[in-house]
């Protein structure tokens, strides 16, 4: 029997706008409803950014608290993964602040990179500080890997004792400035994973834009986990906007079924990742 696939839904993000995607959930209540629909469709993890009412990206702990409340009221079992990446230009201190809410998981971005026309700063000392804060609060980190060097940085931080194995790594491919969604890039990252990390480490792929679907299919066939959602991709098919986050999740569930991968429930995903219920 193949290992179950954990589906993460990145429901909002920091960059997608309502102008471009009218179904983007922005308010805590909208996020609660979107999370519930995504979980009903098959997602076990909600990757969470929050916005102010006017759509501005925010790292305000109070806003995270509201959003988490709305999600937990509808789907208490779901794994909530808080973004510590936030929006470009946010200070590291602000990015770390909502960790006091002790979500199940939090992202840890593994390096500085060009992010479109902007620069996404993640200096080594900041990564180490954020990692310490994440573990201090009993939260499970998910490593956001946009490039091969970032995975090698993670391996060094394991040796240094900053990161604890087994890890959960998310290969985010297709951001202009990081590795593209070319399959050879994924294969190289998987080679590095095999040579540097505990084989029990989990890996997932988040393909950006048009890379979302082909990379998800690759992850399903290669035994990885999958992330989809309006943060990463606003379309269902070329030129046709997705109707909801759930619609993107539903397609992965259908494909997983065809490809013989059972879909992990929230409870199963908690057990696989090592998060208490
Ligand atoms: N918004 C991007 C700059 C994360 O959630 O940790 C960073 C991001 C990664 O979305
Ligand atoms: Zn994010």
What are the pLDDT digits (tens) for 190-245?
Answer: 999 999 999 999 999 999 999 999 999 999 999 999 999 999 999 999 999 999 99
Percent of the chain topping pLDDT 70 = 100
Encode pLDDT of 24-76 as tens digits: 999 999 999 999 999 999 999 999 999 999 999 999 999 999 999 999 999 99
Task: Indicate the length of the chain as a whole number.
Answer: 277
The closest alpha carbon to 96, from 83, 84, 79, belongs to 84
For residue 277, pLDDT over 90 is answered with: no
220 lines ligand 1 (CB under 6 A): no
> Is there a contact between 227 and 43 (Cβ–Cβ < 8 Å)?
no
Encode pLDDT of 174-185 as tens digits: 999 999 999 999
> Which ligand 1 atom lies nearest to the CA of residue 231?
10
Radius of gyration over every alpha carbon of the chain, rounded to an integer in angstroms: 17
Encode pLDDT of 179-204 as tens digits: 999 999 999 999 999 999 999 999 99
| Mutation test residue for ligand 1: of 9, 99, 120, the one with most atoms within 8 Å of CB | 120
pLDDT computed for residue 1 by the predictor: 63
Which ligand does the CA of 109 lie closest to?
1
Cα 11 to middle of ligand 2, angstroms: 9
16 lines ligand 1 (CB under 6 A): no
φ, ψ for residue 170, nearest 5 deg: -115, 115
pLDDT computed for residue 82 by the predictor: 98
């Amino acid at each position: 029997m193949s290992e179950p696939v954990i589906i993460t839904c990145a429901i909002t993000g920091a960059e997608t706008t309502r102008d471009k995607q009218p179904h983007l959930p922005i308010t805590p209540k909208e996020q609660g409803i979107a999370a519930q629909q995504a979980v009903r469709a098959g997602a076990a993890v909600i990757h969470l950014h929050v916005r102010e009412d006017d759509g501005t990206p925010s790292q305000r702990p109070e806003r995270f608290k509201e959003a988490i409340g709305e999600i937990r009221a509808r789907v208490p079992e779901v794994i909530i993964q808080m973004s510590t990446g936030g929006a470009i230009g946010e200070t590291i201190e602000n990015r770390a602040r909502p960790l006091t809410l002790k979500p199940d998981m939090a992202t840890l971005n593994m390096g500085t990179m060009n992010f479109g026309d902007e620069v996404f700063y993640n200096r080594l000392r900041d990564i180490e500080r954020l990692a310490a804060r994440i573990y201090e609060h009993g939260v499970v980190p998910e490593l956001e890997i946009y490039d091969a060097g970032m995975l090698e940085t993670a391996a060094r931080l394991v040796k240094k004792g900053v990161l604890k194995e087994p890890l959960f790594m998310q290969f985010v491919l297709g951001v202009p400035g990081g590795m593209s969604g070319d399959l050879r890039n994924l294969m190289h990252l998987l080679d590095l994973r095999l040579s540097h990390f505990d084989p029990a480490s989990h890996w997932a792929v988040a393909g950006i834009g048009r890379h979302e679907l082909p990379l998800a299919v690759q992850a399903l066939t290669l035994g990885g986990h999958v992330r989809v959602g309006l943060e990463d991709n606003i379309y269902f098919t070329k030129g046709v906007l997705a109707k909801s986050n759930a619609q993107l999740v539903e397609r992965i569930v259908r494909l997983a079924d065809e490809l013989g991968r059972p879909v992990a429930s929230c409870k199963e995903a908690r057990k696989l990742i090592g998060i208490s219920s």
